């Protein structure tokens, strides 16, 4: 068996080149992310899709914690981790059902006017600035404002929140993780108490009511649920917007095609998800029994990482996968995952991205990248695929 692939800074700076080599060799390879863990990395589309829906792979947080070498459990050791993304059925089914209705395409469509309003206000500020960091001034504030409003987190706290949640989605020391965990947890516990005293029309107030009326949601689960929705609801969408704009600015003929026919927008968003999706590797799973993948038999109780970024560039599934083509049929991409943990927020993410990209392009006909693409610094994270800073000139 080949040497484990090291998931280090160089890997995150250019994962596509390494993934191409790995896919050519086989569907799976041992890998070592930071913190000394040893995992199996899945890179081909067919195997990735099958394993995402394979019930022999578990996401049970408590059992996963036992498999980590002493002290390396990171975010899994946090009491904020009692959420659906760290659960198997029946807990997963129960938790997901409680919030499912709030995130259907139909419910989410009602948010359109408000999302357009937030977008236009942010674009007004961009127009005044000239040259800006797209991430900081547009791609970040839009989704965080939307998810905070939906949950009932006061807008004035959203910046604080971003600082606290950073260590959960980036390489961070155990100490940074612990501090972030404490800050977020005590903030959310207070917020839940405030909603109990004075409920609003928001999702968190509704969850507090469910929790008070029966045994369907424990106090730890409500705080973890709020945490998951807040983190999943902004860190990812930020990078769908930023990676999408970046892809267009690097492919002027695609940008021209989209400007020429804005009805291509929904299809273009699917292609951005496929071409450079916001999640590099899906969250950790482990085998509950031996599983054969290609020539490899993964023993029981070992961690498996499934690369969505790699699966979406597999030429057995998508022709010319390294070419951005906003007219291609990109459906079937794995950017939102697959199986029971398929992204709950996909309709919201799609809606936000369509509004954000559509209005940005129509407002600024001369939009340009203000950095050599080779100089972009990509985040060192197995989870998030996105550049720290994307300087643009709005013209
Ligand atoms: C472009 C933006 C987004 C992308 C690419 C994305 C991607 C994903 C992926 C890949 C998963 C599955 C992870 C796994 O199986 O390991 C997931 C799960 C999830 N996402 Fe998203 N997401 C996005 C936006 C959102 C938004 C806006 C929300 C809103 C609240 C959200 C909430 C969730 C939740 C709650 C789960 C866990 C579902 C479960 O365990 O059943 N996501 N997302």
Q: Domains along the chain?
A: 5-393 (1.10.630.10)
Q: What is the pLDDT of residues 232-241, one digit of tens each?
A: 988 899 999 9
State the average pLDDT for the chain. 92
Spatial contact of 309 and 19, defined as CB atoms under 8 Å apart = yes
- Which residue lies with its CA nearest to atom 41 of ligand 1? 341
Q: Atom of ligand 1 at shortest distance to CA of 83?
A: 40
**Cis peptide leading into 171, omega within 30 of 0?**
no
pLDDT at 212: 77
Look at residue 365 in the predicted model and tell me its pLDDT. 96
pLDDT computed for residue 74 by the predictor: 58
Atom number, ligand 1, closest to the C-alpha of residue 282: 16
Q: Which ranges in 104-232 belong to alpha helices (H)?
A: 105-109, 112-129, 134, 141-151, 158-169, 174-197, 203-213, 219-232
**Structure tokens belonging to residue 265:** 């927008």
Q: State the DSSP code for 90.
A: T
Query: SS3 helix, strand, coil % of the chain, rounded to 5?
Result: 60, 10, 30
Q: What is the pLDDT of residue 366?
A: 95
Predicted confidence band at 179 (pLDDT cuts at 50, 70, 90)? Answer: confident
Q: What is the mean pLDDT of residues 295-315?
A: 97
Q: pLDDT for 145-171, tens place per residue? A: 999 999 999 888 887 877 777 776 666
- Atom in ligand 1 nearest the alpha carbon of residue 353: 1
Chain center to CA of 256: 28
In this model, does residue 8 exceed pLDDT 70? Answer: yes
Q: Give the model's pLDDT for residue 217.
A: 87
Top mutation candidate among 273, 345, 382 for ligand 1, by most atoms within 8 Å of CB: 345
Residues 212-231 have a mean pLDDT of 87
Q: Is 244 in the pocket of ligand 1 (CB under 6 A)?
A: no
For 4, 142, 151, 203, 346, the CA distances from 165, given in Å and listed in that order, are 30, 17, 16, 20, 21
Q: Are strands 303-306 and 39-42 parallel, antiparallel or unpaired?
A: parallel
Given this model, what pLDDT does residue 169 score? Answer: 63
What is the per-residue pLDDT for 49?
98
28 DSSP β-pair partners? 42
The stretch 203-215 carries a mean pLDDT of 86
Using a 6 Å cutoff on CB, does residue 348 contact ligand 1?
A: yes
Ligand 1 binding pocket includes 150 (Cβ within 6 Å):
no
Which structure tokens are listed for 214? 């029966």
323 touches 251 (CB < 8 A): no
Least confident of 163-167, 185-189, 290-294: 163-167
- pLDDT higher than threshold 80 for residue 79: no
Which two structure tokens, joined as six digits, stand for 310?
A: 């790699």
Q: How confident is the model at residue 299 (pLDDT cuts 50, 70, 90)?
A: very high
Residue 35 or residue 114, greater confidence: 114
Best substitution site from 234, 272, 344, 383 to test ligand 1's pocket, by max atoms within 8 Å of Cβ? 344
User: How far is the C-alpha of 303 from the C-alpha of 30, rounded, in Å?
Assistant: 10
Query: Across residues 50-54, what is the average pLDDT?
Result: 98
Strand ranges (DSSP E) for the chain?
A: 5-6, 28-32, 39-42, 57-58, 131-133, 285-287, 291-293, 296-298, 303-306, 368-369, 391-393
Please write the tens of the pLDDT for every residue from 104-150.
Answer: 999 999 999 999 999 999 999 999 888 999 999 999 999 999 999 99
pLDDT at 213: 78
Q: Reduced to 3 states, what is the DSSP secondary structure of residue 292? A: strand
Ligand 1 nearest atom to the CA of residue 240, by list position? 1
For ligand 1, is residue 85 a contact (CB within 6 Å)?
yes
- What distance in Å separates the CA atoms of residue 393 and residue 265, rounded to the nearest whole number? 22
Q: Which residues are 250's β-sheet partners?
A: none
What pLDDT score was predicted for residue 10? 93
- Alpha carbons within 13 angstroms on the beta-carbon side of residue 7 total 25
Q: CA Rg, the chain, in Å?
A: 21
3-class secondary-structure state, position 7: coil
Q: Is 22 in the pocket of ligand 1 (CB under 6 A)?
A: no
Neighbours of 395 (CB within 10 A): 11
User: What's the whole-number mean pLDDT along residues 170-190?
Assistant: 83
Q: How far apart, in whole angstroms, are the C-alpha atoms of residue 209 and residue 196?
A: 8
Question: Which of ligand 1's atoms lies nearest the C-alpha of 234?
Answer: 27
Residue 2: pLDDT band with limits 50, 70, 90? confident
pLDDT at 65 over 60: yes
Top pLDDT among 260 and 216 is at 260
Give the pLDDT confidence score for residue 72 in this predicted structure.
65
Per-residue pLDDT tens for 272-283?
999 999 999 999
pLDDT higher than 90, residue 364: yes
């Amino acid at each position: 068996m080949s040497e484990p692939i090291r998931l280090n800074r160089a890997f995150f700076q250019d994962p596509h080149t390494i993934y191409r080599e790995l896919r050519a060799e086989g569907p799976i390879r041992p890998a070592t992310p930071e913190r000394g863990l040893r995992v199996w990395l899945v890179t081909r589309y067919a195997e990735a899709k099958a394993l995402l829906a394979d019930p022999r792979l578990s996401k049970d947080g408590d059992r996963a914690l036992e498999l980590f070498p002493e002290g390396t459990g990171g975010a899994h050791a946090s009491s904020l981790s009692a959420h659906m993304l760290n659960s198997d059925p029946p807990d997963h089914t129960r938790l997901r059902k409680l919030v499912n209705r709030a995130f259907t395409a139909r419910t989410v469509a009602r948010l359109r006017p408000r999302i357009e309003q937030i977008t236009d206000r942010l674009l007004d500020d961009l127009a005044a600035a000239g040259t800006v960091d797209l991430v900081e001034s547009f791609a970040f504030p839009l989704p965080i404002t939307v998810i905070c409003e939906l949950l009932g987190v006061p807008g004035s706290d959203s910046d604080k929140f971003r600082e606290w949640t950073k260590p959960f989605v980036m390489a961070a020391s155990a100490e940074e993780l612990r501090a972030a965990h404490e800050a977020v947890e005590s903030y959310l516990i207070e917020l839940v108490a405030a909603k109990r005293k004075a409920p609003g029309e928001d999702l968190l107030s509704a969850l507090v009511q469910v929790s008070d009326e029966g045994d369907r949601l424990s106090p730890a689960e409500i705080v973890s649920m709020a945490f998951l929705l807040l983190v999943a609801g902004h860190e990812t969408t930020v990078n769908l917007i930023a990676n999408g704009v970046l892809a267009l600015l690097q492919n002027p003929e695609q940008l021209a095609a989209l400007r020429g026919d804005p009805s291509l927008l929904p299809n273009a968003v699917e292609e951005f998800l496929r071409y450079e999706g916001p999640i590099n590797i899906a969250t950790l799973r482990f085998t509950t029994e031996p599983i054969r993948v290609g020539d490899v038999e993964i023993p029981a109780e070992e961690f498996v990482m499934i690369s969505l970024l790699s699966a979406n560039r597999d030429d057995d599934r998508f022709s010319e996968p390294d070419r951005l083509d906003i007219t291609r049929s990109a459906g079937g991409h794995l950017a939102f995952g697959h199986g029971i943990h398929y992204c709950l927020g996909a309709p919201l993410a799609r809606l936000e991205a369509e509004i954000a990209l559509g209005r940005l392009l129509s407002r600024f006909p001369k939009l340009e990248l203000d950095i050599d693409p080779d100089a972009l610094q990509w985040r060192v994270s197995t989870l998030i695929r996105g550049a720290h800073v994307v300087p643009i000139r709005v013209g």
